[in-house]
Amino acid sequence: MVLRTPPPSRAHLRLLAAADTSPPARRRDRYGEIADRRLAAILAAEDVAEEHGLSAHIRTTCYVHRRWVHQCISDPMHILIVTGHRWCRRCDRTVEVQVDETFPGTVELFCDGCGVPPDSVANREVLRACRTSLSAMHGGEASTLYVVPDR
């Protein structure tokens, strides 16, 4: 007895134009101008991860400034009073950030108002993100945090 199977249906097959198969331009070339290809790849990877649930507060890169987060964390844009990121609730002042990029790198938060290092969940997230960013930047060809293929 020979069982016959019907030929595969062609009802769902169609010709695709090149525009249908290529990723959207904003994704493909979003970080194309960045010389540091590891940074560009990690920016893109964290963008995708953020779309799938990664908290923006623990990114190691900044998509606004297109840099490692420790390099731009002192920008006023990174102060979030409501959540307490870079904010001292003790004296209601901006928390300053001091970063030393010299290997292995250090990050410190301090408040000019009360002189007490701010210790809140939000400010610990700032420290962790900056320290991870420093570590990733110093990772060389194969970071211990990320494995990024060459172009």
| Chain centre to alpha carbon of residue 34 | 14
User: Which is it for the CA torsion 119, 123, 127, 132, positive or negative?
Assistant: positive
Q: What is the pLDDT of residue 30?
A: 87
Q: What is the pLDDT of residues 51-85, one digit of tens each?
A: 998 889 989 999 999 999 999 999 999 999 999 99
Supply 7's token pair. 């030929």
**Mean of the pLDDT values across residues 17-25?**
56
Q: Which two tokens stand for residue 95?
A: 């928390």
pLDDT at 116 over 50: yes
Condensed to tens digits (0 to 9), the pLDDT of residues 78-108 reads 999 999 999 999 999 999 999 999 988 899 9
According to the model, what pLDDT value does residue 146 have? 47
- What pLDDT, on the 0 to 100 scale, is given for residue 151? 43
Residue 50 makes CB contacts below 8 A (sequence gap 6+) with: 56, 59
Greatest extent of the chain over all pairs of C-alpha atoms, in Å: 89
Strands 61-62 and 67-68: what pairing?
antiparallel
Q: Cis bond leading into 104, ω under 30°?
A: yes
